[in-house]
């Protein structure tokens, strides 16, 4: 199972994914670190241009770079990808790995602003970063209008750890039931099963 997370800046997403999922046997992968390693592998550079490099790669051939990223993670384990911030990016991930799920972290703005003030990049307004991220959530080249259309679950950064741990347990239970339902539909539809075998 692959669970991808998204959220606005300082929502508490990365803090959560590096703390809670491991309790349930999930391995966490940071997309930024994966992209940095791919950038170094291709260019030999360790500077901060990796983000621009990723943007160019995504613009040229989005499916190819997404396959490269997914190829850096095990396909047969329970994993978390932090984070996905584009509706087109998510559609490609879900197309390549149908057993993937998207969760969003939602946190009141005043709490995000308090957390933002403690960060190194706080010299720049948080709103400017959020506007950039929201632009990616609404990539016009995607089939959907907004990334959040695909979200299966939401977590609240203002909630207690205990509540979010319980919510994560409920979420993975939901994901497993959804996957069982897909398998049942496939077994009851010989044409669909045959088509999916051909696609592999």
CATH number for position 66 = 3.40.50.300
pLDDT tens digit sequence for 162-197: 999 999 999 999 999 988 887 777 777 655 554 444
Query: How far apart, in Å, do the first and last CA atoms of the chain sit?
Result: 17
Q: Quick one: pLDDT at residue 182?
A: 73
CA 171/CA 153 separation, integer angstroms: 7
Q: Quick one: pLDDT at residue 113?
A: 94
CA 182/CA 188 separation, integer angstroms: 10
68 assigned to some structural domain: yes
188 assigned to some structural domain: no
Q: Quick one: pLDDT at residue 191?
A: 55
What is the span of the domain harbouring residue 90?
2-160
pLDDT lower than 50: segments of the chain: 194-198, 200
Burial class (CB in 10 A: 0-12, 13-18, 19+), 1: middle
200 assigned to some structural domain: no
The partner residues of 156 in beta bridges, in order of sequence, read 106
Q: Quick one: pLDDT at residue 187?
A: 78
26 assigned to some structural domain: yes
22 assigned to some structural domain: yes
171 assigned to some structural domain: no
Q: Quick one: pLDDT at residue 124?
A: 85
Global confidence as pTM: 0.88
pLDDT, mean over the chain: 91
Please state the domain count of the chain: 1
Q: Quick one: pLDDT at residue 123?
A: 79
41 assigned to some structural domain: yes
Q: Quick one: pLDDT at residue 75?
A: 86
38 assigned to some structural domain: yes
Q: With the C-alpha atoms ordered 122, 128, 130, 136, is the resulting torsion angle positive or negative? A: negative
Q: Which residues contact 22 (CB under 8 A, 6 or more apart)?
A: 28
């Amino acid at each position: 199972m692959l669970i991808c997370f998204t959220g606005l800046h300082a929502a508490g997403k990365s803090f959560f994914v590096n703390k809670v999922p491991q309790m349930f046997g999930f391995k966490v992968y940071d997309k930024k670190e994966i992209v940095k390693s791919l950038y170094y592998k291709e260019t030999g550079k360790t500077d901060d241009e990796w983000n621009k490099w990723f943007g160019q790669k995504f613009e040229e051939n989005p499916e190819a770079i997404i396959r490269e990223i997914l190829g850096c993670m095990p396909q047969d384990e329970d994993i978390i990808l932090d984070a996905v911030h584009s509706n087109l990016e998510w559609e490609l991930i879900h197309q390549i790995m149908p057993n993937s799920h998207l969760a969003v972290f939602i946190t009141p703005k005043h709490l995000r602003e308090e957390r933002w003030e403690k960060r190194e990049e706080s010299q720049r307004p948080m709103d400017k970063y959020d506007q950039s991220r929201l632009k990616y959530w609404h990539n016009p080249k995607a089939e959907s209008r907004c990334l959040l259309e695909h979200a299966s679950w939401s977590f609240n950064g203002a909630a207690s750890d205990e509540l979010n741990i319980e919510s994560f347990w409920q979420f993975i239970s939901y994901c497993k039931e959804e996957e069982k339902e897909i398998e049942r539909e496939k077994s009851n539809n010989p044409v669909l099963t045959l088509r999916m075998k051909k696609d592999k």
